[in-house]
């Protein structure tokens, strides 16, 4: 049966730390107890906190060492958070982290260049106008430090699941206004010495000073036609209406907010407010029912798009997941049924999810253990690992399989699914999924399931590993009040020996020469795809 995978993106909420700033009135013993509390949460709530450390003994040794370091020498909340993040980075788990904003580095200026990640490295995508001829150059060293060494430093700060996670976080650290993050790997910066390999194959060195004020940098050109779509918008990108494109910046829609509010999930209203602010960029109505109703529906938009493609006989669908860091996997599953019908329900995805039942997990679900067992007709105990496999149910009558799927779907229009009787609304001849290093969590799941259904994946590999920890379960430390997330699931999407198990390589991967061919356009991955489609 198609298991509903609860892959959830929780918006980060900045919690004020004490009165004044991040570094006032600290008590080392209390911070050490905060860390000990977090360490115990990891042991009771994370499906496997030990293996990345080399086993349970080594996890506990590192935990005690970290706790003692905090008790002995931690001088600020920033230092405490940095120490904890260094510990968590060893899990290589992108869903286990702190929500913490470090105190801004004073008088640090602006970073005078930007990075873009391509499949074979990092290139320069923003520079002062006087140096614009070097746009598109490959980065070899920054301040005498090789890119490989910088990636290793990033890996000790952020929880990276593969090298594209390291690259993505490196790109983030060198973003325009991000000196605070960058100071963690380059603590003393008064200039940037860049060693570059230019598009013409020449080695060039330039020195750039931090910018003292907002300055517009020269950037890659953009294709207005290919970049005009916003989140959950679709449109034809050719005059013949043969190529439809859907843009997804995140996997959040009306369906998931209806679910969390109806089930009284902690923080559900705050997540809705964050969605209005960060995604819709509008004021949220005071009436929560109206606020939810005004959020676009994933299934309604996907249905309308497929009907328009059917009406025009469109053969090609491009789903652009670049920059999509995730959301809720369940809201994408009805879309797969709309596009593939019974073939989706009977396709063996070959995946499994192993959920650790913990007090923290039940708190997130807003359920008691008794309620959980009643709903699942089970007899589980705290600490049990519950395994779900997404295998073909060839022995189950298709009517029953279809009925089970529709009744459990997170879909605002189940009545529209029932009359299909397993037939797709429309199946495009070719489906293409465009990814980059930021395609993560529920967005990665959507890409993977489409790939299993025959879609072609194009672009930069995802920072998420197919075999990894999954799902955010929120926590709060009792003394510092810092919040964060702990994974509660281990997902296994591919055999361990598969070359895609840690890095999900797309079927079509543009090379550096391809980016150069398209003038390092911001839409190079789409231009590359359109050329290959011809």
Mean predicted confidence (pLDDT) in 321-341: 96
302 and 249 part of one domain: yes
Give the Cα separation of 301 and 221 in Å (integer): 30
Residue burial 201-223, b: 16+ Cβ < 10 Å; e: rest: eeeeebebeebeeeeebbebeeb
Q: How confident is the model at residue 503 (pLDDT cuts 50, 70, 90)?
A: very high
Compare 177 and 467 and report the one with higher pLDDT: 467
23 and 93 part of one domain: yes
pLDDT at 413 (0 to 100) = 78
Residue 127 has pLDDT above 50, yes or no: yes
Give the Cα separation of 10 and 8 in Å (integer): 6
Write out pLDDT tens, residues 138-148.
999 999 999 99
Neighbours of 481 (CB within 10 A): 12
Residue 10 has pLDDT above 60, yes or no: no
The conformation of residue 277, written as its DSSP 8-state character, comes to I
Least confident piece of the model among 7-11, 301-305, 376-380, 515-519: 7-11
Q: How confident is the model at residue 113 (pLDDT cuts 50, 70, 90)?
A: very high
Q: 16 vs 13, 25, 97, 299, 456, CA distance in Å?
A: 10, 13, 18, 37, 45
Residue 89 has pLDDT above 90, yes or no: yes
Specify the CATH number for the domain of residue 31: 3.30.750.44
Residue 426 has pLDDT above 70, yes or no: yes
Q: How confident is the model at residue 33 (pLDDT cuts 50, 70, 90)?
A: very high
Query: Tokens in use for 299?
Result: 């299934």
122 and 82 part of one domain: no
Domain boundary residue, one of 218, 243, 272 = 218
Mean predicted confidence (pLDDT) in 410-430: 90
53 and 82 part of one domain: yes
Domain boundary residue, one of 159, 192, 218 = 218
Based on DSSP, count helices (H) and strands (E) in the chain, helices before strands.
20, 17
Residue 465 has pLDDT above 60, yes or no: yes
339 touches 20 (CB < 8 A) = no
Residue 8 has pLDDT above 70, yes or no: no
Neighbours of 444 (CB within 10 A): 28
Q: Considering the domain boundaries, does residue 236 fall inside one?
A: yes
Residue 452 has pLDDT above 70, yes or no: yes
Q: Considering the domain boundaries, does residue 276 fall inside one?
A: no
pTM for this entry: 0.91
Domain assignment of residue 530, given as a range: 220-253+296-350+413-465+504-534
Mean predicted confidence (pLDDT) in 171-177: 84
Give the Cα separation of 41 and 475 in Å (integer): 9
pLDDT at 104 (0 to 100) = 67
Q: How confident is the model at residue 6 (pLDDT cuts 50, 70, 90)?
A: very low
199 and 224 part of one domain: no
308 and 174 part of one domain: no
Give the Cα separation of 460 and 512 in Å (integer): 12
Q: Considering the domain boundaries, does residue 91 fall inside one?
A: yes
- Which candidate, 145, 153, 12, places its Cα nearest to that of 82? 153
Q: Considering the domain boundaries, does residue 265 fall inside one?
A: no
Residue 106 has pLDDT above 90, yes or no: no
165 and 94 part of one domain: no
Q: Considering the domain boundaries, does residue 67 fall inside one?
A: yes
33 and 173 part of one domain: no
Specify the CATH number for the domain of residue 130: 2.30.42.10
321 and 457 part of one domain: yes
Residue 11 has pLDDT above 50, yes or no: no
382 and 301 part of one domain: no
Backbone angles phi, psi at 189, to 5 degrees: -120, 115
Domain boundary residue, one of 196, 218, 240 = 218
pLDDT at 12 (0 to 100) = 37
475 and 457 part of one domain: no
Q: Considering the domain boundaries, does residue 524 fall inside one?
A: yes
Q: Considering the domain boundaries, does residue 401 fall inside one?
A: no
Query: Tokens in use for 289?
Result: 């029912």
Specify the CATH number for the domain of residue 316: 3.90.226.10
Q: 43 vs 356, 381, 503, 512, CA distance in Å?
A: 11, 16, 27, 44
132 and 146 part of one domain: yes
**Tally of domains within the chain:** 3
Least confident piece of the model among 11-25, 185-199, 282-296: 11-25
Q: How confident is the model at residue 534 (pLDDT cuts 50, 70, 90)?
A: confident
Residue 14 has pLDDT above 50, yes or no: no
pLDDT at 392 (0 to 100) = 65
pLDDT at 144 (0 to 100) = 94
Q: How confident is the model at residue 183 (pLDDT cuts 50, 70, 90)?
A: confident
Q: 136 vs 142, 215, 519, 526, CA distance in Å?
A: 16, 20, 8, 17
Mean predicted confidence (pLDDT) in 40-54: 97
472 alpha-carbon distance from chain centroid:
11
pLDDT at 16 (0 to 100) = 33
Give the Cα separation of 412 and 472 in Å (integer): 24
Q: Considering the domain boundaries, does residue 408 fall inside one?
A: no
The mean pLDDT of the chain is 91
Mean predicted confidence (pLDDT) in 482-500: 96
């Amino acid at each position: 049966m198609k298991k509903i995978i609860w892959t959830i993106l929780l918006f980060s909420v900045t919690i004020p730390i004490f009165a004044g700033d991040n570094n006032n009135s600290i008590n080392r013993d209390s911070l050490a107890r905060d860390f000990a509390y977090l360490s115990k949460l990891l042991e009771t709530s994370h499906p496997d906190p030990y293996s990345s450390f080399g086993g349970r003994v080594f996890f506990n040794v590192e935990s005690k060492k970290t706790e003692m370091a905090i008790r002995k020498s931690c001088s600020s909340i920033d230092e405490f958070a940095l120490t904890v993040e260094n510990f968590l980075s060893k899990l290589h788990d992108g869903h286990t982290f702190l929500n913490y904003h470090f105190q801004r580095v004073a008088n640090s200026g602006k970073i005078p260049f930007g990075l873009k990640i391509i499949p074979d490295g990092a290139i320069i995508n923003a520079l002062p106008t006087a140096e614009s001829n070097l746009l598109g150059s490959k980065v070899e060293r920054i301040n005498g430090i090789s890119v490989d060494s910088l990636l290793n430093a990033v890996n000790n700060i952020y929880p990276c699941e593969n090298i594209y996670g390291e690259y993505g976080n490196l790109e983030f650290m060198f973003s325009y206004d991000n000196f605070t993050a960058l100071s963690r790997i380059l603590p003393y910066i008064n200039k940037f010495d860049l060693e570059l390999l230019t598009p013409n194959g020449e080695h060039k060195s330039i020195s750039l000073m931090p910018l003292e004020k907002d300055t517009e940098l020269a950037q890659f050109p953009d294709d207005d036609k290919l970049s005009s779509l916003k989140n959950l918008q679709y449109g034809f990108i050719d005059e013949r209406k043969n190529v439809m494109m859907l843009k997804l910046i995140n996997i959040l829609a009306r369906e998931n907010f209806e679910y969390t509010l109806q089930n009284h999930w902690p923080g559900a209203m705050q997540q809705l407010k964050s969605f209005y602010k960060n995604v819709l960029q509008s004021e949220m109505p005071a009436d929560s029912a109206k606020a939810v109703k005004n959020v676009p529906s994933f299934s309604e938009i996907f249905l309308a798009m497929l009907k328009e493609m059917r009406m025009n006989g469109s053969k090609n669908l491009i789903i652009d997941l670049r920059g999509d860091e995730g959301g809720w996997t369940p809201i994408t599953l009805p879309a797969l049924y709309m596009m593939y019908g019974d073939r989706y329900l009977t396709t063996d995805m070959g995946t499994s999810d192993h959920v650790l039942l913990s007090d923290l997990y039940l708190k997130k679900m807003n359920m008691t253990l008794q309620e959980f067992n009643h709903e699942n007709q089970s007899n589980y105990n705290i600490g049990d690992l519950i395994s779900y496999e997404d295998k073909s149910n060839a022995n189950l009558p298709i009517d029953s399989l279809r009925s089970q799927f529709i009744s459990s779907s997170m879909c605002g229009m189940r009545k529209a699914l029932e009359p299909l009787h397993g037939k797709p609304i429309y199946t495009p001849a070719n489906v293409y999924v465009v990814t980059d290093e930021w395609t993560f969590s529920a967005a990665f799941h959507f890409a993977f399931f489409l790939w299993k259904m025959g879609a072609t994946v194009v672009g930069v590999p995802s920072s998420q590993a197919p075999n990894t920890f999954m799902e955010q379960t929120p926590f709060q430390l009792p003394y510092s009040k810092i919040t964060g997330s702990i994974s509660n699931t281990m997902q296994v999407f591919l055999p361990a020996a598969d070359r895609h198990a840690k890095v999900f390589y797309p079927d079509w991967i543009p090379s550096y020469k391809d980016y150069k061919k398209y003038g390092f356009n911001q839409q190079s991955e789409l231009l590359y795809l359109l050329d290959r489609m011809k």
